[in-house]
Structure formats: structure tokens, C-alpha cells
Chain A
Amino acid sequence: MTGELGQLALCLALALSLVQAIAGLGAGHTQSPLAARIASHAALGFAVFVCVAFGALVAAFVTSDFSILDVAQNSHTLKPLFYKITGVWGNHEGSMLLWVLMLAIYTVLTVLGRRGGMRLTSAALGVEGLLAVAFLLYILLASNPFLRLDPPPIEGAGLNALLQDPGLSFHPPTLYLGYVGLSATFAYAAAALLTGEVDAGWARAARPFLLVAWCALTLGITAGSWWAYYVLGWGGFWFWDPVENASLMPWLVATALLHSALATERTGAFRSWTLLLAIGAFSLSLIGTFLVRSGVLTSVHSFANDPERGKFILCILFVAIGGALALFAWRAPKLESGTAFEPVSRESALLLNNLFLTAAAATVFLGTLYPLFLEAATGTRISVGPPYFAVTFAPLFVVLLMLVPFGPRLGWRRGNLQSAMQTLAPGLAAAALAGALALAIGAPRSLTAAAAVALGVWVIAASVLDLRSRSQTHALSLHSFASALAHAGLGVTLLGIAGTICWKSEALEVVSPGQSIQVGGYSLQFDGVSAVAGPNYTASRAAIEVRRNGTEIARLAPEMRSYPVEGQAVSKTAIRTTGYSDLYVALGDNRGGGRWLIRAFVNPLAPFIWLGGGLMALGGLASLLCRLRLPLPRPVLAPAE
């Protein structure tokens, strides 16, 4: 029953999104209030039916309705309720439905927000309708989650055990909230091009969507990296895996867009560039979806797949990107260029920011897609590893971070570098001090680490100095905290990365009960392994006594879990964190005779990596909140001279 309900709801949603697309684009063209009203109502109806369809799929998973193929392949009666629900998006079909659910959420927000006037909103709804049509067609034709299985199996195949983890459960929805949020920005940009209202109005209208998308992307990437860190058991947090890159590229371009739209709103600068970035950011999120969901890449995230689906997504990709770029080429010549600005000004700083961010995105793009191109062209299979990104991506970000503190200290149109330097001078001193300290007490001694610490402290200190300087002239508002928090977050993440990479200590040993492992000043005594039963797994749990200077400070219990249904074994690491350093222990395989392989790390500053991600998202949230509560900042109208 739920299957038919879901199927029906999807068909109705498709019909309504088609109405929404036609009426919305029509209203954008003719400015007919009737068409605009039809578009909004169709959009709301579309959202309702998508929710019904998604609800039906959740119900099918919760009740373990194995007559539905998707449920039979990805669920199991013994799975805890929580993972039955999160399993809905732990597979290809369900995750595409989640994509459309997110699109529905943003469509409703577009209708309710009514930002940017009737004409622009209608056209944006029209574009969102087109996207909905494309993805609903894809779901119904190539990736239907409601396909029936006859006869139904008695038991399901279970969910990939690696995905049965609370941290990962919210990684896909958050990331999708970000990916799809860029579709709203894209819709407004395309609407501006379609209606010819290419002034800054669209950027102002789209900003809340962009901020939501950016915060969600930031959190999603942070959550993914955290998951990789504590689930995969290698102690690493970022692997330059193509699919990680697929989420990083839209983030880089969305960050650039966030900054360039700021200039477009305030002074009208970079109008066409901002439009192009909005198209680019969403294109990259579509490419990300294609890379992840088409199975062209070897990755943690590739689901079992057939090539038809890849081709379908590729078609959507070409039509959306090609169409938007054609629109841009058609309208861009009509764009007036913004007012001029001095070489030292907020605009110049934002320009540099954009230059570095897009260049960084380009290097990631090339490193991620080059193996695909090479294979298509010559048949040679290669992979591009972390060393490539270390020599291309890292230098760009180092220079970017050196410059970041200046941006908020420079005025629009014409800035005063000297006064900025005066404000920031204590930051330089703090950075030098921190670098020297890192060189003196960091073990092993590492110039790279010291330089990175200095850079991180420079960015953090500059954010604090920026706030202090602002508080001297006027009361601090939420608005002042937005950029300070986001920039400080970058610095904090850098500290975490530097500490983890340069000062990590590692031990890998086979131990018998009673034996100890020494790592980074800790002594880990292995007290044997006991069998533990979980809801749908059995585990070997190690007992480990952690000692420091002879006194016991903690007991850790890393596990090796075995999921009989899925036929998988998954290690569960144990992490003891002091807030600025992690002791990380993973249980390896059984070597017989009570001996086990144990891997332990001490990762100094590791928690900072994710703390920084959280700070960045908080900064975005602060900016979003003052967007929603306060009147829009006034455009700077006085011409520069």
C-alpha cells in the first residue's frame, strides 16, 4: 500500500512541478499575477506530494516492507529503528528522493520568502520547477525507490555496516541541504538572466538561501571528515577521495560567491562575475551528484549502479549547465559594469579572495577529473593522490589565509592599508610568538608546523582585533560576529590540521594480554578481549588501560564489530580527547593465541579541525540571522572619486 501511495505521490508531484515550471516561467515573462499565483500554489502542492512520497518510503523502511525492492536490498528487521530510518538515504534510490525533498523545502522557502519581487520570484520558481521535473523524471524512470519485488523475501539484505553510525546518519541530509540549497541561488541567478533584472536585487534575494546552503555544506563536510576520522580507523580526517573533493568544490565556489555577492549587493561591483559564480556553484554540486551517484569513481560512496543512471544525470547536467551558460552569454553584454574602486579597497580584497578560491577549486577539479578524462582518452587508469593536492591546493590556501585578515579592515571603494596594518599589528606579534613557541615545544620539531601555527594564530588574532576595533566605534551587533567567527574558524581548523599532520605519534603492534604499547607519552596496557552482543552485531571488545606517568587515567574499549546479516566486520575506534589532543585506539585483527593487532595514535590539536568547521558554520548562521531580522544593509550609492 505504501509503495503505491509513494508512487502516486511522485507522479502527482511531477505533474505539479511541470505546472510550476510553466506558470513560473510564464509569469516571469508576462508578469501575469494569475500565472504567478498558479506557480506558487503548484509549488506548494509539489512540496506536499514529495513529503508524502518520502514519508511513504520512510514508512516502508520502518515497517520492513520487503515487497519493496529498495527496502529488501537495504534494510533488515533486526536493524535498530534509528538505522531503519537513516537507511532510507543510505542507498541510491532513497538518496535521490532526499535530493528532491530538499529541493521541495527550498521551493517552499522561495514561495514563502517572496524575496525580490513577484517577477523574479516567479521566474525563480519556474527554474526550480524545471529542476524538479528533471529529477522526478530521473527517479520515476531510472531510480524508482517504490519498485515492487514479487515474491517478497522473508528478510532484507541489511545496510552497509559502515553506515550504521550515528555520525554518518546526518552527514548526507546536511550535505544535501547544502548541495540543493545552491539550486535556489542558481534559480535566482537564472531568473535574473531570464527576466533581465540583472541588477543586484537577485543577489540580495538569494542571499539567505546561499547562507543556509553554505552553512549546511560546511557542517556536512565537517561531519563527513569527522566520520572518516573515527570510523575508518586510519586516524586521518581527509583523504582527497574524489567524493570528498566533489563536496569541497561546491563549497569553495559557494564561499567565493558568498563574498562576491557581498560586493554586488553593496556597490554593484562584479555583477556578471557573481552571476557566473552562482551558476558555477550549482553546476559543481550537480557534477558532485553525478560523480557520486553514477559510479564512475572508485569510492566509499559509490553505490552499486547501472550506467543508464549515470547517463541520465549527465544529461540533466549538460542541459542545466549549458542552458544557464547560454542564458548568461545572451544577457551578459547587457550588464552594466559596476562603479570603480581603488586598488586598495574592500572590493579588491574580495576580488583576491575570489581569485584564490576559484583557483583552488580549479586545482581540485583538475585533480579529481583528470583520471576520468585520461581513462576516456587513452584507457590508462591512474589516480591522483594527496601529494598533488599538497603542492597545488595548499600554497593557494596559505596565501589566501595570509590575506584574509585584511579584507574586513578595508573600506568599500577605498581602503586604508596603513590603518588596517595598525589594527592588525598585535596579530602579527601574536602569530610570531605562537610560531616560535610551536618551534620550541612542538615534538617533533617542525618548521612547517610552526609556520602553520603562526598562520592560524594570525587569522584568529586578526578576527579578535577586528571585533575589538569595531566595538570601539559602535556597539557590536550579530553582524560584526559573522565574518569574525567564520574567519577565526578557518584559523582554528588550520591549527588542527597542522597539529594532526606534523605532531602525530603512531604505534602499530601485536600484543598479548598484559602487554603494553607506548605512544606519545601514554602507556596502553592491553587486558584482553571479551565478546559483546549488540542489537544486530556481535563484537570483540578490547579492554585497554591508559596510563600517563604511571597513573591510570582512563579505560578505553575499542571494538571489532561483526554484522552477520551484512557479512561485514567494522572496527569501532575508541577516542579519548582532552579537547586539544586525541588519544585514538583502533582494534585490528585477531592474531591467534589471545594476541591482537592494535593501532594507536596521539593526534595533537585534532579536535580543532571540526571545532573550526563548527565556528565557520556559526559565522554563517550569524550572518543569516541578521539577514532575517534586520533591514538589508543600505547600498553604498555615493560615487567614488
Chain B
Amino acid sequence: MNRKKQRRLWFAAALVVASIGGAALVIAALKDNVLYFYSPSDLQSRGVHPGVAFHLGGLVKPGSLKRGPGSEVRFVVTDGHAQVPVAYSGVLPDLFREGQGVVAAGALESDGVFDASEVLAKHDERYMPPDVVDALKRAGRWKEHGS
């Protein structure tokens, strides 16, 4: 085996080792840093422990938005079958509306209130987050609208 071939072999071996090591690290990182998406119905049927972070998606229940005290806001997320109260401290996104789709990131408190650390609303009038569409479809509350 000449020198060049030998060097290549070393290089290939190093590459394989590095990519296996890298892949292992990445998969470990993925496992620890993944957020699941649940609809209010999912929560009812599945039961998620308080403190476990996840994404909650559905529609903002009309008439449920309450502001204050301080910077806090409270609203209810519903998918037609089940609903979850949400508390959030911060500025709601520009496109947040009652009756429209929303995804909130956070965790359940022990009293069943979802403590949101982040609220994402859809960013387009004609656009509904796929997550929310899916949740509504599963709850049988999705209807295609013309506009």
C-alpha cells in the first residue's frame, strides 16, 4: 500500500468515526430538545404531567381573552371538543385574534392552566398553521372556507 492510499484510508476511517460520533450526539440532542404538539382533546385523552413543555394548538375561544393584572393575559384555547385555559405574560403577536388559530409553547401548571412562554399566531390572514388545521380536523371541526 503506497503512502497516498494509506493516508486516504486513515482519512476515511476518521470520517466514519467522526460521523458516527456526531450522529450519536445529534440524536441525543434531538431526544432532549423536542417539543410535542397537542390539541386540547389530546390533553384530555392523554394526560400530560405538569411541568412538561409542549406546544398547544387550537382556536382562541371567542370572548375568552382577559387582560391583566399587569402584563398578564388569559385566554382559552379550544378545538371544539375540549378546551384549555392559557396564561401568558407578554405582548401577544400582531396577528393574534379571538376565534382564530394559535400555537402556544409552554407547560401545564398543577391547576390545569397552561403557562405559555411564547405565543405564535398565524402570520397571514389566509393562513392557518398546519398543526392547528390538523388538530381541528381530528376534532371534526375543520371546514374548508372559500376565501
- On A, residues with C-beta under 8 Å from B are 73, 157, 160-162, 232-234, 295-300, 302-304, 337, 340, 355, 359, 362-363, 366-367, 370-371, 380-385, 387-388, 391-392, 508-510, 566-571, 586, 588-589, 591-592, 597, 599
Name the interface residues of B58-77: CB closer than 8 Å to any CB of A.
67-68, 70-71
Closest residue of chain B to A562 (Cβ to Cβ) is B94
A383-B55 contact, Cβ under 8 Å, with A295-B130, A298-B130, A588-B91: yes
B94 touches A392 (CB 8 A): no
A380-B36 contact, Cβ under 8 Å, with A392-B25, A586-B91, A588-B91: yes
A392-B90 contact, Cβ under 8 Å, with A304-B127, A381-B37: no
B34 at the interface (CB under 8 A from A): yes
In the complex the two chains form, what is the Cα distance from A508 to B32 in whole Å? 30
In the complex the two chains form, what is the Cα distance from A510 to B123 in whole Å? 25
Closest residue of chain A to B123 (Cβ to Cβ) is A300
A-B contact pairs, 21 of them (CB 8 A): A233-B91, A234-B91, A296-B130, A300-B123, A303-B124, A304-B124, A340-B7, A359-B22, A366-B30, A367-B30, A381-B37, A381-B55, A383-B55, A384-B35, A388-B29, A392-B25, A588-B71, A588-B91, A588-B92, A589-B67, A597-B91
What are the 6 closest A-B residue pairs judged by CB atoms, nearest first?
A381-B37, A388-B33, A588-B91, A304-B126, A387-B33, A298-B129
Q: Which of B29, B89, B129 contacts A392 (CB 8 A)?
A: B29
In the complex the two chains form, what is the Cα distance from A297 to B4 in whole Å? 46
Distance between A336 CB and nearest chain B CB, rounded to angstroms: 12
A162 touches B94 (CB 8 A): yes
A385-B94 contact, Cβ under 8 Å, with A298-B129, A302-B127, A591-B67: no
Interface 0/1 of B36-64, CB less than 8 Å to A: 11000000000000000001000000000
Q: Which A residues are CB-close (under 8 A) to B15?
A: 355
Interface 0/1 of B75-99, CB less than 8 Å to A: 0000000000000011111110000
B34 touches A383 (CB 8 A): yes
In the complex the two chains form, what is the Cα distance from A22 to B109 in whole Å? 65
Q: Which A residues are CB-close (under 8 A) to B30?
A: 366-367, 370, 384, 388
In the complex the two chains form, what is the Cα distance from A302 to B125 in whole Å? 12
Name the interface residues of B1-18: CB closer than 8 Å to any CB of A.
3-4, 7, 15, 18
Name the interface residues of B112-147: CB closer than 8 Å to any CB of A.
123-127, 129-131, 134
B94 touches A382 (CB 8 A): no
Q: Which A residues are CB-close (under 8 A) to B22?
A: 359, 362-363
B29 touches A571 (CB 8 A): no
In the complex the two chains form, what is the Cα distance from A569 to B121 in whole Å? 12
In the complex the two chains form, what is the Cα distance from A463 to B18 in whole Å? 29
- Main secondary structure on chain A at its contact with chain B? mixed
B35 touches A383 (CB 8 A): yes
B91 touches A571 (CB 8 A): yes
Residue with the greatest number of chain A CB neighbours at <10 A, chosen from B29, B105, B131: B29
Distance between A310 CB and nearest chain B CB, rounded to angstroms: 11
Distance between B17 CB and nearest chain A CB, rounded to angstroms: 12
In the complex the two chains form, what is the Cα distance from A302 to B129 in whole Å? 9
- On B, residues with C-beta under 8 Å from A are 3-4, 7, 15, 18-19, 22, 25-26, 29-30, 32-37, 55, 67-68, 70-71, 89-95, 103, 105, 123-127, 129-131, 134
- Main secondary structure on chain B at its contact with chain A? mixed
Distance between A250 CB and nearest chain B CB, rounded to angstroms: 20
Closest residue of chain B to A355 (Cβ to Cβ) is B18
Closest residue of chain A to B22 (Cβ to Cβ) is A359
Q: Which A residues are CB-close (under 8 A) to B37?
A: 381-383
Distance between B64 CB and nearest chain A CB, rounded to angstroms: 15
A384-B33 contact, Cβ under 8 Å, with A589-B92, A599-B91: yes
In the complex the two chains form, what is the Cα distance from A122 to B50 in whole Å? 64
Distance between A382 CB and nearest chain B CB, rounded to angstroms: 5
A337-B4 contact, Cβ under 8 Å, with A162-B94, A300-B123, A591-B68: yes
In the complex the two chains form, what is the Cα distance from A391 to B70 in whole Å? 35
Closest residue of chain B to A599 (Cβ to Cβ) is B91
Q: Which A residues are CB-close (under 8 A) to B124?
A: 160, 302-304
Q: Which of B34, B125, B126, B131 contacts A298 (CB 8 A)?
A: B131
A340-B90 contact, Cβ under 8 Å, with A382-B34, A591-B68: no
Q: Which B residues are CB-close (under 8 A) to A304?
A: 124, 126-127
Closest residue of chain A to B97 (Cβ to Cβ) is A567
In the complex the two chains form, what is the Cα distance from A296 to B133 in whole Å? 12
Distance between A97 CB and nearest chain B CB, rounded to angstroms: 19
In the complex the two chains form, what is the Cα distance from A589 to B68 in whole Å? 11
Q: Which B residues are CB-close (under 8 A) to A385?
A: 33, 35, 105
In the complex the two chains form, what is the Cα distance from A254 to B134 in whole Å? 36
Distance between B79 CB and nearest chain A CB, rounded to angstroms: 13
Q: Which A residues are CB-close (under 8 A) to B7?
A: 340
A363 touches B67 (CB 8 A): no
B123 touches A162 (CB 8 A): yes
B34 touches A391 (CB 8 A): no
Closest residue of chain B to A386 (Cβ to Cβ) is B33
Residue with the greatest number of chain A CB neighbours at <10 A, chosen from B68, B94, B95: B94
A303 touches B36 (CB 8 A): no
Q: Which B residues are CB-close (under 8 A) to A382?
A: 34-37
B68 touches A510 (CB 8 A): yes
Q: Which A residues are CB-close (under 8 A) to B19?
A: 359
Closest residue of chain B to A297 (Cβ to Cβ) is B130
Q: Which A residues are CB-close (under 8 A) to B35?
A: 382-385
Q: Which B residues are CB-close (under 8 A) to A234?
A: 91
In the complex the two chains form, what is the Cα distance from A200 to B97 in whole Å? 57
Distance between B6 CB and nearest chain A CB, rounded to angstroms: 11
Q: Which of A233, A359, A363 contacts B94 (CB 8 A)?
A: A233
Q: Which B residues are CB-close (under 8 A) to A383?
A: 34-35, 37, 55
In the complex the two chains form, what is the Cα distance from A598 to B85 in whole Å? 24
A160 touches B36 (CB 8 A): no
Known: A304-B126, A371-B34, A388-B32. 19 other contacts (CB 8 A): A157-B125, A160-B124, A162-B123, A296-B130, A297-B130, A298-B130, A362-B26, A363-B22, A381-B55, A382-B35, A383-B37, A384-B30, A384-B33, A388-B29, A508-B91, A510-B68, A568-B94, A589-B92, A591-B68
